[in-house]
Amino acid sequence: MPPRLRLPLGNLRVRIYHHILPSQQCTYASLATTTTPAPPIDQTIRSIPPIARFPLNQPPSHKPPELRKSQLHRQYQSLLKSSPLILLFQHNNLLALEWMGIRRELAYALRNVDTERATTSHQNLYADAIKIQIIQTGIFASALRVVEFYHPESQPDSPTQHPSNPSTTSSARIPDTLPTPDDPRFTHGLSRRAHQAAANRKLKLELDPLLSGPLAVVAFPAVSPQHLKAALSILSSSSDFPAPKRKIQPSYHEPAVQAGLQKLMLLGARVEGKVFDQEGTKWVGSIPGGIDGLRAQLVAMLQNTGASVTNILESAGRSLYLTMEGRKCMLEGGKKETETEKRGE
Amino acid sequence: MITRFLTDVRAKFNPFSPRGKTVRLFLSLLPPNARSSIKIETKMLPRLSKEPSALYVKLKDGKELNLDLEKMKITEVTAEVDRHSRLLSRKEELTGS
């Protein structure tokens, strides 16, 4: 049988090209450079800017950033900065099953609030953002100190050029492009300056006595009394915030959930930087209609005062007018009388 | 802390006073299933109250402990409770099983 591929015999031979090997071709380095392409014209005019030795979103931090505590610190700082309303709970040895039940009931109640608000065309639906979360108390306290006492915006910036910015000229003298936390340019929450600001023990937090023992927080992305009310009625029900009825929410009355709720204690709340105790928290939760309700109250109050103010201001003018009119009438009457008297004479 | 012999715990504290910490830590030391065997009552005082925090503990043999929390720390409180609990456990070992 003849081969299926018909190749000429010359193609099957292995060829060795000795004469075009590059090592043999260029024997001088100067000759080799001539063959490489010229650099782009930009690079011949000015060289590339100096390079930072760390990514822009990962500036060097005071403590090693790969540790869990550093990451928790950063996470708690962002939690504290982003949520104006935080409830603090103490949890006394809850079981995982009980936590699960409580989380489920809380999510259910908050979702109900959201569906209610959606029907009245409210835009702010927060149910998915509100969760109960166990915190590492010491790290949370430290993060709170940084959030309260470290304000990099208020400190004067050293005018510097960032090395990885393309507009920075190559001749610019940049103090330190190496990742050392000593650099005062770093003003993030984990920086050395933040750590030093928070380490000042003379500054006392209002929330300090609460931050001990096992703690859990419920963080709200906005001060929304309706959501707060729902959360309070689940987590620490009282006469003002009645727990859901057995018919409406039967899973709330399961023994696991109830046993867990007995072990949760509401300690206080942090509302827009201010600290409230249990009573204060309940007061915030009992604001009717939330911020809209407050606005309506304010508008009604201002309208009433406005009306009364105009009344008062008007009344002065009116009384003046009346007295003047009275006087005028009196004088005219007097004139007439004198005229009639003259005529009579 | 030995919690087997506790029958009654009544706590009253102000979370905003530094002395309230002891009571809170004591409550956090009770085991998860404590409420099935121990009667626990907690009362939280408002923030501005000057009332001192109080902890009342009753043990199985009827011994009542009213702990003064103005000076004691949590280690001293647990030591005090354990002292009586250990007596009870020894007694139990000698009489029963």
Residue A327 is which amino acid? R
**Confidence at residue A185, expressed as pLDDT on a 0 to 100 scale:** 73
Contact indicator for A141, A270 with CB cutoff of 8 Å? no
Residues A275 and A307 grouped into a single domain = no
Which are the contacts of B72, defined by CB distance < 8 A and separation ≥ 6? B22, B80
Could you tell me where the DSSP H helices lie in chain A? Answer: 22-25, 29-35, 41-45, 68-82, 96-119, 137-149, 192-198, 225-235, 255-262, 278-285, 290-344
Note whether residue A110 is domain-resident: yes
Q: Do A210 and B16 touch (CB under 8 A)?
A: yes
Note whether residue A4 is domain-resident: no
The CA dihedral of B53, A90, A285, A251, to the nearest 10 degrees, is -130
Buried b (16+ CB within 10 A) or exposed e, A286-301: ebeebeeeeeeeeeee
Residues A202 and A264 grouped into a single domain = yes
Residues A212 and A88 grouped into a single domain = yes
Number of domains present in the structure of chain A = 2
Q: Which domain holds residue B35?
A: 6-72
Q: Which domain holds residue A302?
A: 289-325
Residues A73 and A131 grouped into a single domain = yes
Q: Tell how far CA A54 is from the center of its chain.
A: 26
Residues A261 and A192 grouped into a single domain = yes
Complete DSSP assignment for A264-291: EEEEEEEETTEEE-HHHHHHHHT-TTHH
Q: Which of A287, A313, A333 is the last residue of a domain?
A: A287
Helix (H, G, I), strand (E, B) or coil at A57: coil
Note whether residue B45 is domain-resident: yes
**Confidence at residue A297, expressed as pLDDT on a 0 to 100 scale:** 81
Note whether residue A61 is domain-resident: no
Complete DSSP assignment for B50-89: -PPPEEEEEETTS-EEEEETTT--HHHHHHHHHHHHHHHH
Q: Do B15 and A214 touch (CB under 8 A)?
A: no
Residue of A88, A92, A102 to mutate, testing the B interface (most B Cβ within 10 Å of its Cβ): A92
Quick: pLDDT tens for B58-74.
998 888 989 888 888 99
Q: H-helix or E-strand containing B8?
A: strand B6-13
Q: Do B31 and A259 touch (CB under 8 A)?
A: no
**Confidence at residue A238, expressed as pLDDT on a 0 to 100 scale:** 87
Give the pLDDT band of residue A232 (cuts 50, 70, 90).
Answer: very high
Q: Do B32 and A94 touch (CB under 8 A)?
A: yes
**Which ipTM was obtained for this model?**
0.91
Angle between helices A225-235 and A290-344 (to 10 degrees): 130
Residue B41 DSSP symbol? E
Q: Which of A235, A261, A287 is the last residue of a domain?
A: A287
Q: What integer best gives the mean pLDDT of chain A?
A: 82
Q: Which residues of A touch B20 (CB under 8 A)?
A: 209
pLDDT above 80 (res A196): yes
Quick: pLDDT tens for A2-45.
667 676 666 666 665 555 555 555 555 555 555 678 777 777 77
Tokens 């009489």 found at: B95
Quick: pLDDT tens for A82-138.
999 999 999 999 999 999 999 999 999 999 999 988 888 777 788 889 999 999 999
**Confidence at residue A339, expressed as pLDDT on a 0 to 100 scale:** 61
Q: Which residues of B touch A279 (CB under 8 A)?
A: 46-47
Residue of B13, B47, B69 to mutate, testing the A interface (most A Cβ within 10 Å of its Cβ): B47
First to last CA, chain A: 167
Note whether residue A164 is domain-resident: no
Residues A235 and A195 grouped into a single domain = yes
First to last CA, chain B: 23
* CATH number of the structural domain spanning residue A132: 3.30.70.1730
Residues A193 and A238 grouped into a single domain = yes
Q: Give the chain B residue whose CA is nearest to the CA of A258.
A: B35
